[in-house]
Amino acid sequence: MSTFLENQNWRYATKKFDATKKISTEDLNTLKEAIRLSSSSFGLQPYQVIIVENPELRAQLQPASWGQSQIVEASHLLVFASKTDVSTEYVDSYVQNIATTRGLTLADVNPYGDYMKGFLGNVPADVIPIWTAKQTYLALGNLLNAAAELKIDVTPMEGFIPAQYNEILGLTERGLNASLVATIGYRSEEDATQHYAKVRKSTEDLFITL
């Protein structure tokens, strides 16, 4: 745990990346697996993660990201895109995955699928995209923690225009909406903010014990 806390003190929202340093395939695969193993409501993982390496695409996305340099300087750009709807077919596919993975029959897991469908059927249609978008933040948490252990920098970003991301990346036709962006790579020596003391609430101010 002491190492975990050391990693949390080491990490910060990097403002300037070293564009000459790239994440290795091995480390990128580790980060992808950390994201894949993230918790989500019902285990549904109602999102996909787009890894944007193409420099031309990233140049197009920069103006849609308030001109932030991290979009083009970081080793990789990750776009967490949440599903705009969770269909019964999507739930059925998940149920089939459960059965296959755990060596069960569909009859064994269909009651769980019916429970999920019942829950989702009672959620207003305009609330579903909000719910799915929240799931991407759980995945981001795993990314942040895994990256800190590897001493890879991550900058979570909400400063972008989702509609423009959707258009540039063709997300709408996939039933997805850009909900969260994370740039990953290695901090530049020129980024002065890496030397700033971390500012957080005190334990007394943050926690309430009842």
Per-residue pLDDT band at 39 (split at 50, 70, 90)? very high
Residue in the structure block whose two tokens are 């400063």: 159
pLDDT at 191: 97
Give the residue-averaged pLDDT of 43-52: 98
Distance CA 103, CA 111 (A): 16
Per-residue pLDDT band at 42 (split at 50, 70, 90)? very high
In one letter, which amino acid is 48?
A: Q
Q: Read off the pLDDT of residues 81-140 as tens digits, 9 standing for 90 and up.
A: 999 999 999 999 999 999 999 999 999 999 999 999 999 999 999 999 999 999 999 999
- Phi–psi pair at 156, nearest 5 degrees: -70, 140
Q: Read off the pLDDT of residues 142-190 as tens digits, 9 standing for 90 and up.
A: 999 999 999 999 999 999 999 999 999 999 999 999 999 999 999 999 9
pLDDT at 2: 76
The mean pLDDT value of the chain amounts to 97
With H, G, I as helix, E, B as strand and everything else as coil, classify residue 83: strand
All structural domains of the chain, each given as residue ranges with its CATH number in brackets, are 2-82+125-206 (3.40.109.10), 86-124 (no CATH)
CA-closest candidate to residue 17, choices 173, 207, 154: 154
What percentage of the chain has pLDDT greater than the value 90? Answer: 99
Residue 1 has pLDDT above 80, yes or no: no
